[in-house]
Amino acid sequence: MMGNLVSIVIPTYNEAKNVPVLVRRIDSAMRKAKMAYECIVVDDNSPDKTYDIAKKLSKKYNVRTFLRTKERGLSSAMLYGYKKSKGGIVGWIDADLQHKPELIPDLVRAITDEGYLMSVGSRLTKEAYFLDCKAYCCPADKSQGHNERVLFHQKGCN
């Protein structure tokens, strides 16, 4: 595990058109923020060749790809990616481009700079927006021996 690396899990199924756009936007946002990152694409054997496209992206971007041929489902794909992650901070983002990857650095900073254990972006609430998304952050309770690996999840930001 690398403490300063941010692992971003991207579960996919039939996202061939979206994955290149998403990875480019993540790369741009993380480079601008000067944050080391890896994208972990977990594909459930998409018939539209999402896996092959993601694999090609790994030649230019910090992308690792995993193909699941027997397992299916968003939750298990996120858990699979988490287990494969190398970062000290791990999060996930859907590949459907309904989320703003440009907000990932802010979600990470809530953890690294402000001491929160978790940060979550959501479009489901109307008060106190955090760069177009509501940010829910829970303070870390280090006395309880929380694991250093924390999660951010950017849910529904568009």
Write the pLDDT tens digit of every residue in 20-68: 999 999 999 999 999 999 999 999 999 999 999 999 999 999 999 999 9
Look at residue 33 in the predicted model and tell me its pLDDT.
96
> Which residues, including other chains, have CB under 8 Å from residue 8's CB and lie 6 or more apart?
26, 37, 38, 39, 40, 91, 92, 93, 104
> Which residues, including other chains, have CB under 8 Å from residue 67's CB and lie 6 or more apart?
43, 45, 51
Tell me the C-alpha distance between 144 and 96, whole Å: 36
> Which runs of consecutive H residues, i.e. helices, occur in 16-114?
18-32, 50-57, 74-84, 104-112
The mean predicted confidence, pLDDT, of the chain is 80
Tell me the C-alpha distance between 11 and 28, whole Å: 20
Look at residue 133 in the predicted model and tell me its pLDDT.
38
Using CA atoms, how far residue 134 sits from 95, 100, 156, in Å, is: 20, 12, 10
Specify the pairing of strand 37-43 against strand 63-67: parallel
Q: Which domains does the chain have, with CATH numbers?
A: 2-155 (3.90.550.10)
Three-class SS state of 132: coil
- For the stretch 92-143, pLDDT in tens is 999 988 878 998 998 898 888 887 777 776 656 443 233 333 344 444 444 4
Tell me the C-alpha distance between 153 and 117, whole Å: 12
